[in-house]
Amino acid sequence: MEDYLNKNIKEILNQFPEIAGVLNDYNIGCVPCQAGSCLLKDIVEIHNLPLEEEQVLMARIAGVLYPGRETKIPRIIRKTGVAIRETSYSPPMKKLVDEHTLIKRMVALIPAMIDSLDLESEAGRQVIRDGIDFIRSYADKYHHAKEEEILFKFFDDNLSIIKTMHEDHETARAHVRAILKALDEKDKEGVSEHLKAYGELLSEHITKEDGILYPWMDRNLSITQVGELFARFNEKEQAFGTLPGKYEGLIENLEEKIIGNRLKEAVK
Amino acid sequence: MTQFEGCPGSRMVDLRDESSQEEITGKVKSQLKQWPIQMHLISPTAPYYQGANVLLTADCVAYALGGFHPEYLKGKAIAIACPKLDEGQEEYIEKVKSWLEDAKINTLTVLIMQVPCCMGLLHLAQQAAQASQRKVPIKAIVVGIKGDILSEQWV
């Protein structure tokens, strides 16, 4: 079974689709992940199940990989002890989770943006430009930059989970470039397609971060590192000044424009 | 109606029947790297507080927690206080504020007992943090009288 522990989850699920059901039973949300590059052993370690549950999970996976055979179930080496008590996010991690709240409001607007997409009028094109401004400046330069330039540097770049997060960020940036190109060409289908893909990617990405990555990082950061992270995030935020407030206002305006208009149409 | 049993902080509890499964072997090395430690005596800008991870602990904690030195004190600067019995606690708030602003400490961990009177130490730390321009991560750990960790939360 050691060979499979060091395989990425996408390969394993392609070969043994049954394992998807096993993972879902433990709320391990790897099945819909577009990258799927995390190694099985890292996935089990990161989810930090109680030891008895982990053994049952591994036995069930072994049952799918080697049906009808008795297999030795390997223990996953944990870098930190099993959590025996609930802890909240550390303050720096909580800042990132709170920023996700605003990003999720943007993502929630995407279906309505697509439905009411208007590339003929300047006002219609400005809605898309405002959305892209938020994505590039707040979601990317402000939020993702804190992750890539500060948080991820506290961990080994070669970890599959870190690589997956980097890949997600790059894929998101590619969608944004594609949206802008389609906007220039007044290509409604292109804008819709990449907006939808961006929204789906970010939803999944945020779920992975809030539920798995950040708690795992918190378990692996020393108290000294938590303090350093907090101080460096503060410096980054001071450099941005009042911009985060500006983007909160931008989201409110977009919500008013996009959802407000739909409500008015529905009432007519 | 439940019978009033008096103040939980000073209520007598006999733990002699609690059998210890572990044998203690070897000497536990002290992790104390400073003097003084009592909150009225410390200077908040002493060198060992500069940029440090600080442990503000209630007096009784070190007696309840078997692994206090290796698991909690190691690598940290410390101060101890009793939020119920110490006088002049306004000075404590100023000292915590000075840790934050002058010593520019890295983090503050507040270790208290489960008894209600101990919560005052956490409130004191929170008051100082609110009054301070500079913020740091603050963690609150509540220790049971049997030495178990009842909660551990970022404040």
- For residue A234, which residues of chain B lie inside 8 Å, CB to CB? 135
Q: Could A227 and B75 be called an inter-chain contact, meaning their C-beta atoms sit closer than 8 Å? A: no
pLDDT bin (cut points 50, 70, 90) of residue A74 is confident
Question: Reduced to 3 states, what is the DSSP secondary structure of residue B130?
Answer: helix
pLDDT of residue A198: 96
Q: What is the dihedral of CA A159, A160, A161, A163, to 10 degrees?
A: 90
What's the pLDDT at B21? 60
Q: Which residues of B touch A90 (CB under 8 A)?
A: 137, 154
Percentage of chain A lying above the pLDDT 90 cut = 53
Residue type, A17: P
Cβ-Cβ contacts under 8 Å, B106 against chain A: 223-224, 227-228, 231
| Nearest chain A CA: its distance from B105 CA (Å) | 9
Highest mean pLDDT among A30-39, A46-55, A194-203: A194-203
- Quick one: which H or E segment has residue B149? strand B149-154
Instruction: Pick the closest to residue B58 from B79, B42, B81 (CA basis).
Output: B81
Mean pLDDT of chain A: 86
pLDDT at A66 over 90: no
Q: How far is B109 from chain A (nearest CA, A)?
A: 9
Q: How many CB atoms lie within 10 A of CB A54?
A: 20
* Best residue in A223, A229, A230, A238 for a mutation probing chain B (most B CBs within 10 Å): A223
* Interface A:B, Cβ pairs < 8 A: 41
Q: Is the peptide bond between B36 and the residue preceding it cis, with omega within 30 degrees of 0?
A: yes
User: Average pLDDT of A151-168?
Assistant: 91
Yes or no: say if B56 and B108 are a contact pair by the CB < 8 Å rule. yes
The band of A83, judged by pLDDT with boundaries at 50, 70 and 90, is very low
Distance from CA of A183 to the nearest CA of B (A): 44
Terminal Cα-to-Cα distance of chain B (whole angstroms): 35
Q: Is the pLDDT of residue A128 over 70?
A: yes
What pLDDT band is residue A176 in, cutting at 50, 70 and 90?
very high
Compute the distance between CA of residue A55 and CA of residue A134 in angstroms, rounded to an integer: 44
Point out the least confidently predicted range of A82-91, A165-174, A215-224, B89-98: A82-91
- Cα radius of gyration rounded to whole Å, chain A: 21
Q: Distance between CA atoms of A144 and A168, rounded to whole angstroms?
A: 11
**Chain A residues near residue B149 by CB distance under 8 angstroms:** 85
Calculate the alpha carbon distances from B104 to A251, B99, B123, B126 in Å. 36, 6, 20, 16
Q: What is the pLDDT of residue B4?
A: 53
Cβ distance B111 to B67 under 8 Å? no
Report the candidate in B152, B86, B141 with the shortest Cα–Cα distance to residue B113.
Answer: B141
- Predicted local confidence at residue A143, as pLDDT: 94
Please give the single-letter amino acid code of residue A42.
D
Q: At B40, which amino acid appears? A: H
The rounded distance, in Å, linking the Cα atoms of B45 and A28 is 48
- B124-146 pLDDT per residue, tens: 999 999 999 999 999 999 999 99
* Residue-averaged pLDDT of chain B: 90
Q: Which of A224, A225, A238 to mutate to test the interface with B (most CBs of B within 10 A)?
A: A224
Residue A228's closest chain B neighbor by CA? B106
> Residue B24, class by beta-carbon neighbours within 10 Å (0-12 exposed, 13-18 middle, 19+ buried)?
exposed
Cβ-contact A132, A176 below 8 angstroms? yes
Distances from the Cα of A234 to the Cα of A210, A224, A240, B21, angstroms: 20, 16, 10, 46
**Contact call for residues B131 and B101 (beta carbons, < 8 A):** no
Residues of chain A with pLDDT > 70, as a percent, come to 90
| pLDDT < 70 regions, chain B | 1-7, 17-25
User: What local confidence, expressed as pLDDT, does residue B54 receive?
Assistant: 98
Q: Given A85, A227, A234, which is nearest B151 (Cβ)?
A: A85
pLDDT at A53 over 80: no
